[in-house]
Amino acid sequence: MGKQTPAERLFTLTCCLVSAQSYGVSKRQLLESVSGYAENKSQDAQDRMFERDKDLLRSMGIRLEVVDGEGSDDPEATRYRLSKQAFAWPTGFHLNPTHLQLLELAAKAWSHRSMSQEARAALTRMRAFGVADGAQSLQVVSPKLFAKDPNFGPLTDAIDQGLQVRFEYQKPGERPFSKQLSPVRLRFRAGQWILLAADAGSLKNYLLRRIVSRVVLLDAAAEPLTQDEIASAEKSLDDFILSQVAKLEVREQSEAWYHFGASETTIQVSYMDRELFIEELIEYGSDVRVIEPSELADSIQAQLRQVLQNHA
């Protein structure tokens, strides 16, 4: 079996929890069943990865229950299962025609036969433990959308394992330069994947699209950071993005209209990187017109004129 990506590992974990819904399953059984955990030799690394995955499930609205073990010293007495309301619709939520179209597309993209080999092996292991119902149908969502950047996986591995990384980074108009960092977190903000990393005690943000080499995991341990430091860096990034706002006019029902989730022809969009945002807008051609800021509109016009000159 190949190495599981973080999304595949999370999917396999969810399948195991769904299959053991009636009985619950111990942490040891999950760590032994999901191959993504076994890839870490250190017990501490496996524990950190498991706790991180539980937090990710909760952040997606999938709630876990702890049964038959609270307060017990026996780790096998603590078992996990999904809340009965784990996949329930939020109170007051109603499906509109767009929701139904998306659900139909998702259903067409998923069938039980498409389950990965790792997920099937994990369920076989769960049945061997006697905690999975072999006849139960898994009606779950298959994670079909992955980050396209090839460095997403290595960076996630480094974060899970608490290791430093090295890569080549290139800013606009500059030559590539080498960086050795302690990756902390990956976030999707304003249409871009962004790496929060520690460099000699200083927390900085790096765009994955600016990494121009393969990420190499190093043997050196990552720099320790406090949650307050990370929270402060996250707030600074959010404040920066909120300060970068463009007012756009988009053609109704165009590709740009759906890309930006527009409900009217004049919209405001926050962006992270000016040059990358310009590239994105140019791709939509006449479907998008920049109203503000004027500097952004001028830069797009200058690049379009340059293209015309180069191909005249």
101 and 55 in a common domain: yes
Q: d(Cα 296, Cα 244) in Å, to the nearest integer? A: 11
pLDDT in tens, 24-75: 788 888 888 887 787 777 888 888 888 888 888 877 777 788 876 655 566 6
Q: Is the pTM of this model over 0.85?
A: no
198 and 286 in a common domain: no
110 and 169 in a common domain: no
Q: Is 147 inside a domain boundary?
A: no
Residues 6 or more apart in contact with residue 78 via CB below 8 angstroms: 26, 27, 66, 68, 69, 70, 72
Q: Per-residue confidence at 222, pLDDT binned at 50, 70, 90?
A: very high
**Mean pLDDT confidence for 217-231:** 91
13 and 120 in a common domain: yes
**Mean pLDDT confidence for 277-287:** 86
Region for residue 173 given its phi and psi (left: phi exceeds 0; alpha: psi -120 to 50; beta: otherwise) = left
Q: What DSSP state is assigned to residue 42?
A: S
224 and 249 in a common domain: no
174 and 65 in a common domain: no
- Residue 56, judged by CB atoms within 10 A of its CB (0-12, 13-18, 19+), counts as middle
Number of domains, the chain? 3
CATH number at residue 157: 2.30.30.520
Q: Is 39 inside a domain boundary?
A: yes
CB atoms within 10 A of CB 292: 12
- Domain ranges, residue 160: 152-228
pLDDT in tens, 103-121: 555 554 444 334 455 555 5
pLDDT in tens, 153-189: 889 889 888 999 999 999 888 899 999 999 998 888 8
